[in-house]
Amino acid sequence: MDIETEGGLERNGIDMKKRTIGELTNNKSRKNTRTANNTGSIRQRPNGLWEARVVTGIDPITGKQIRKSVYGSKEKEVRRKITEIQNALDSGTYQEPSKMTVKEWLDEWLTTFCMNKLKPYTISSYRMIIDTHIGPAIGSMKLQAVRGLHVQKMYNALVANGAAPKYVKNIGAVAHKAFNVAIRQGLISVNPCDAAELPAMVQKEIKPLTDAEIPIFLKAIQGHPFENAFALCLFAGLRQGECLGLSWKQVDFDRRTITVNQQLQRERKKGGKYFIATYTKSNKPRTIMPPAITFEYLANEKRRQTTMRLMAGMEWHNDNDLVFTNAHGGNLAIFTFYNSLKKVFTGIGRPDARPHDLRHTAATVAIASGADIKSVQSMLGHATASFTLNVYAHTSEKMMEDTAARVQNYYDQLKSML
């Protein structure tokens, strides 16, 4: 590291070499001291501030030295700043000071690094998280000034305002990704998210339909416009978006299989449009073989759709060849589907149930019927079997009853041997 020295050895005809150290020290308006490594000087300016200029690198275009001025109210303060810069230069972690804010970087990251890499739904989700949560919390801060403390306070505020731990984790994931790219671009040296603690994740108890509630549910949906879609979610364990985005080409009546490789999604913004995303949540298509009753409901829907198409005539437009449509061939609205199903649940005495609980029901029934965890994982499209086991291993009453019966049988056999 080099520090710029004062120019000139002679002033007003006086040979500077002949002046004593005392004379230099007593001239308070031009006071200079050598740096510890004897590479330059720190000077006190006429206004009382101390100053040094540090060479932080070489301009690759001009070949000239890049200099940074360091100021402080005391000489000791300037020396400390010089040492910090020198250590950062030596370790390769030095960043040239930047006025870029967190919000400016997040916008740049989303536009430049994410736009051609991520799906539209993911982009809109990131945009919503940035505009609604990260931006208001730390967006106005300088990117280089953000520390783990600031991120932690953002997490704490989210939890205090009722955000679920899983949602806070999603927000943290977006921030972490953005800061990681900033590191690779040389804008910051460390990721502040690494120094913050996310709230503890608590596995919520799932509430699938019981064995007694399933036939009540099936009777309640008889004749409902969405009867076949509701039944498909129950028997095949599809997510809501997977069910509403299912096309006829994904259904194989001969082999009795369903290939799940797309979803119906809606842009996360006011007036957002619906679109078919040709990927699933895990980004891996899966082929499932649900029980035969599933295809009875699908056959009913095919006949129902044929009738609607004939009635609509020229107004029929099912460009995505969807299984479940409205009277003119368009996709069903996600919120309409959700609210309709909630009304059914309320009618059978399960107002707490959600559409996703039909998926939980399919999994618990499969496990209770003797299906192995790996098969259930494949049916649901989970990333790992351990996740499936953690969620569903203790949810089926029948499983617990069977386990208790097997254990009791074991002890009965031991007792008979006494």
pLDDT digit string (tens) for 315-364? 999 999 999 999 999 999 999 999 999 999 999 999 999 999 999 999 88
d(C-alpha 118, C-alpha 122), whole Å: 6
pLDDT at 371: 82
- Per-residue pLDDT tens for 163-219? 999 999 999 999 999 999 999 988 888 999 999 999 987 767 788 899 899 999 999
Place of tokens 């399960």: 350
**Rounded-to-10 torsion of CA 378, 382, 384, 389:** -90
> What are the chain's domains?
10-91 (no CATH), 102-195 (1.10.150.130), 213-400 (1.10.443.10)
User: Residue 264, SS3?
Assistant: strand
User: Residue 50, SS3?
Assistant: strand
Provide the token pair at 208.
């699938």
DSSP 353-387: --THHHHHHHHHHHHHTT--HHHHHHHHT-S-HHH
125: left (phi over 0), alpha (psi -120 to 50) or beta: alpha
pLDDT at 27: 44
